[in-house]
Structures are given as structure tokens and as C-alpha cells.
């Protein structure tokens, strides 16, 4: 368990817990950008080296069962994908321009979540996906 630091929200400490667990399976970075354009600019710099698989979180996107989500990650890994970027959008959602650049629009459900909670749910599902792929008993089904 990771303790909540001073000034940290419950969401932040939950995120740190899952990020640490994911770290057993893959390198994780959780940068925060001042704006959508700052994020897209950084991404275009990445693209000149290795092209990341870009997943934008969007409640209107595609929904997956946890097993299907694990399958998607496993497929990317098996195809030699070096980097997957998962991005939570700004308060007013992603622009059409950003949505066009995505390889996948991923929905965690049709209800709108606060961005900090969406980040925690995503991190838990990423951890779950890695445990499914590795046969770890964390995921026992529905
Ligand atoms: C507070 S929400 C933005 C809500 C925005 N006003 C809208 O109606 O789309 C901030 C970000 O959290 C993420 N988010 C919130 N709920 C989500 C969900 N159910 N599935 C996927 N992402 C979600 C999205 O990335 C969204 O851009």
C-alpha cells in the first residue's frame, strides 16, 4: 500500500498504487500537460522517433471487456509496439483534431467521470490487463 502524501487526493494515491504495480510489467510515465495543444506538440516530437500507439480516453469511444482490453495490449506487444500512449482529455473533452490522430478512442463506460477518476480506472484496468496476460490470479473474471 502507498501512503497518501501531503496535499494528495485519494485519486492520486490510488493512481500511484496502480502505477507501481504496472511498473512490474512495463515502464510507466504519467506526465501532465497544460493543454491539449501542448500534449499534441510533445506527441508529434515522439512521432519522429518511434511512433506510439495513441489511445485517447473518451466516453463516446469503444468499450472493451477487461479480457478484450488485455488482448489488445498483448497484440500490440506481440507486434513489437514500443510505446502506447493513453491520454485523458481536458475538461471540455478532446477536439476533433485530437480525435482524428488517435489509433483508438477508448471508453470506460458511457457515463462521464472526473478526469482524476478516469485516470485511476484506466490505471487499474491496465494493471488488470497485465495480470491477465501473465496469468497472475488478480483477475478472476466477472
Ligand atoms: C471531465 S471529462 C470531460 C467531459 C467532457 N465535458 C465531455 O462531455 O466529454 C475529462 C476527460 O476524462 C476522460 N473520461 C471521463 N469519463 C470517461 C469515460 N467514461 N470513458 C473514457 N474517458 C472518460 C476523458 O478523457 C475526458 O476527456
Residue-range domain boundaries for the chain: 10-134
**What burial class does residue 91 get, using C-beta atoms within 10 Å of its C-beta: 0-12 exposed, 13-18 middle, 19+ buried?**
exposed
Q: Is the shortest distance between the CB of 105 and ligand 1 below 6 Å?
A: no
The ipTM is 0.93
> What are residue 84's DSSP bridge partners?
53
Q: Binding site: what residues are annotated?
A: 57, 89, 108-113
What residues are designated binding site for S-adenosyl-L-methionine? 57, 89, 108-113
Nearest to 122 by CA among 107, 112, 101, 140: 107
Question: Do residues 51 and 44 touch, judged by C-beta distance below 8 A?
Answer: no
**Domain range 10-134, CATH class:** alpha beta
Give strand ranges (E) for 2-133: 53-63, 84-87, 104-107
Check: CB of residue 87 under 8 Å from CB of residue 47: no
Distance CA 5, CA 32 (A): 18
CA 44 centroid distance within chain: 18
Give me the DSSP letters along 117-131. HHHHHHHHHHHHHHH
pLDDT in tens, the chain (142 residues): 455 666 678 899 999 999 999 999 999 999 999 999 999 999 988 655 678 999 999 999 999 999 999 999 999 999 999 999 999 999 999 999 999 999 999 999 999 999 999 999 999 999 999 999 999 999 988 7
3-class secondary structure, 132? helix
Give the distance (Å) from ligand 1 centre to CA of residue 112. Answer: 5
The CB of 81 under 6 Å from ligand 1? The reply is no
Question: For ligand 1, is residue 107 a contact (CB within 6 Å)?
Answer: yes
Ligand 1 binding pocket includes 109 (Cβ within 6 Å): yes
Any ligand 1 atom below 6 A from CB of 23:
no
Amino acid at each position: 500500500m502507498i501512503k497518501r502524501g501531503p496535499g494528495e487526493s485519494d485519486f492520486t494515491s490510488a493512481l500511484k498504487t496502480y502505477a507501481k504495480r504496472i511498473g512490474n510489467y512495463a515502464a510507466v510515465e504519467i506526465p501532465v500537460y497544460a493543454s491539449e495543444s501542448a500534449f499534441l506538440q510533445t506527441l508529434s516530437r515522439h512521432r519522429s522517433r518511434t511512433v506510439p500507439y495513441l489511445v485517447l480516453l473518451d466516453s463516446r469511444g469503444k468499450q472493451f471487456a477487461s479480457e478484450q482490453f488485455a488482448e489488445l495490449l498483448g497484440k500490440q506487444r506481440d507486434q513489437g509496439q514500443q510505446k502506447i500512449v493513453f491520454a485523458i482529455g481536458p475538461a471540455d473533452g478532446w477536439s476533433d483534431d485530437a480525435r482524428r490522430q488517435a489509433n483508438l478512442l477508448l471508453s470506460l463506460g458511457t457515463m462521464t467521470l472526473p478526469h482524476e477518476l478516469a485516470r485511476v480506472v484506466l490505471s487499474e484496468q491496465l494493471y488488470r490487463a497485465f495480470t491477465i496476460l501473465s496469468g497472475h490470479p488478480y483477475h478472476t473474471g466477472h
